[in-house]
Structure 1
């Protein structure tokens, strides 16, 4: 495989069953129906690099929030024969608790974050409990420590991480939320993360209830639609449907290869 093309994997580490459509869509005609949510981290890998996109949350955070996990994200990496020290770059799509835990476990990685995201997470906006709730102070503090250690690269809008991997700020769900565009042997692939929790969010332009900028979220949906129209594979951040649309890696159905749709 060329050094600027990647295999891409989604690793499921948690789930929340018992949710309803009211938890997923701000405006919907059937708020009471069940609507489950899966939690993922993502791996981009070729012969030269192993890149982690988001780090999930661990058992300590799971207990604090009352949201159990199925497996530690780091243990999910080990099942792929990946140690934390193998990670060359770590892209944090945003600093919400379920995407930015255990940042201190990746000592060899260079971190990548939108400037607007860290600015938002330490701004007066956090005086409001509704905006503060998806963040965990320890995670944000760890990001600041990585900055002071010289291991955090800021991006402002669009930027290249390495050849074949680019990030683009879309905001909406969080101020500095970024999506990840990856070149694969099967063409371009976009990890939407929480720019679209479910396929239905961007396909039908349905707002997710946790949103700091509705217009930015809607513009993000349009951007994802544009990528798909150009032939890119677009992968939402929390949709259980992802495990049904891509090739399984293990028999337990917890890991799929995203650059190989079924």
Structure 2
């Protein structure tokens, strides 16, 4: 049976809240986490999302101030569970934005699981989205360095018993949520369709409050509604509250 551990791959100390909450939070700053998840079942160790660039590249390529990030932080977090990147059997990427896929080349023995719609879009994103996908920059997008190990998914796919990838477009065309069933509950790792718990909880105006970064709001809203029936607990991708628990 799966056990699920949140991994802290670094943070934005002062992130603009309005980027996470559609038409709310303008001018408010919050602490946001670059979250990964380690799922372990027997000898299989699966990483969901691979973390963010080091501080220098995040600033130079993406004009974002982050701290405690990069490959060293990934290794540090895995070492808490007596693991090294070479011990990871599989990497599942919720999407191909730079803050989720930056360190995927570290995992030299892992198969990498990505939706085909995500790869198609990442290869030729619209101009406003190109930087987020590391498209057209001086260095190649990290996922392109592991093409020979990519398992391309075509919609909802059972990856392993007790772990299923659901195609949930909206934030990006190939965004996917990863459902993991543990002994007590099932969890859906929602990727950036749900950045914060506040996105999922909604408010007096909206059942769920989407984020401000998306490709198609119709798809996004449909995916949020679909998620209601997919798992017992929806887990956001950037909320510090994820670390209120050491194991799920």
Same fold (TM over 0.5): yes
Match for residue 130 of structure 2 among 126, 132, 143: 132
Indicate if the aligned counterparts of 1:116 and 1:175 stay in contact, CA closer than 8 A. yes
**169 and 108 in structure 1: CA distance in 2 versus 1, 3 angstrom threshold:** same
Q: How does 1:89-128 map to 2 (within 5 A)?
A: 89-123=90-124, 125-126=125-126, 128=127
1:68 CA displacement: 2.5
CA RMSD of aligned residues (A): 1.8
**Residue 140 (structure 2) pairs with residue 144 (structure 1):** no
**Residue 11 (structure 2) pairs with residue 8 (structure 1):** no
Q: How does 1:175-190 map to 2 (within 5 A)?
A: 175-190=173-188
CA shift digits 1:1-47 (9 cap, x unpaired): xxxx211011112222323432321222x534433311111100122
In 2, the alpha carbon distance for the partners of 1:223 and 1:90 equals 24
Query: What corresponds to 1:252 in structure 2?
Result: none
**19 and 223 in structure 1: CA distance in 2 versus 1, 3 angstrom threshold:** same
In 1, the alpha carbon distance for the partners of 2:225 and 2:14 equals 30
In 2, the alpha carbon distance for the partners of 1:139 and 1:73 equals 20
Indicate if the aligned counterparts of 1:13 and 1:69 stay in contact, CA closer than 8 A. no
CA shift digits 1:189-222 (9 cap, x unpaired): 1111112101111221212111101111112221
**200 and 168 in structure 1: CA distance in 2 versus 1, 3 angstrom threshold:** same
Q: How does 1:58-97 map to 2 (within 5 A)?
A: 58-59=53-54, 60-64=56-60, 65=62, 66-71=64-69, 72-97=73-98
> Structure 1: which 5+ runs fail to align?
247-255
In 2, the alpha carbon distance for the partners of 1:144 and 1:25 equals 31
Query: What corresponds to 2:205 in structure 1?
Result: none
> Structure 2: which 5+ runs fail to align?
203-207
Query: What corresponds to 1:24 in structure 2?
Result: 20
- How many residue pairs get aligned? The number is 234
**139 and 56 in structure 1: CA distance in 2 versus 1, 3 angstrom threshold:** farther
Match for residue 218 of structure 1 among 217, 221, 227: 221
1:105 CA displacement: 1.4
In 2, the alpha carbon distance for the partners of 1:108 and 1:26 equals 39
> How high is the TM-score relative to the length of structure 2?
0.87
Query: What corresponds to 1:38 in structure 2?
Result: 33
CA shift digits 1:203-243 (9 cap, x unpaired): 21212111101111112221222235xxx121111111222
In 1, the alpha carbon distance for the partners of 2:223 and 2:95 equals 15
In 2, the alpha carbon distance for the partners of 1:25 and 1:113 equals 26
1:139 CA displacement: 5.6
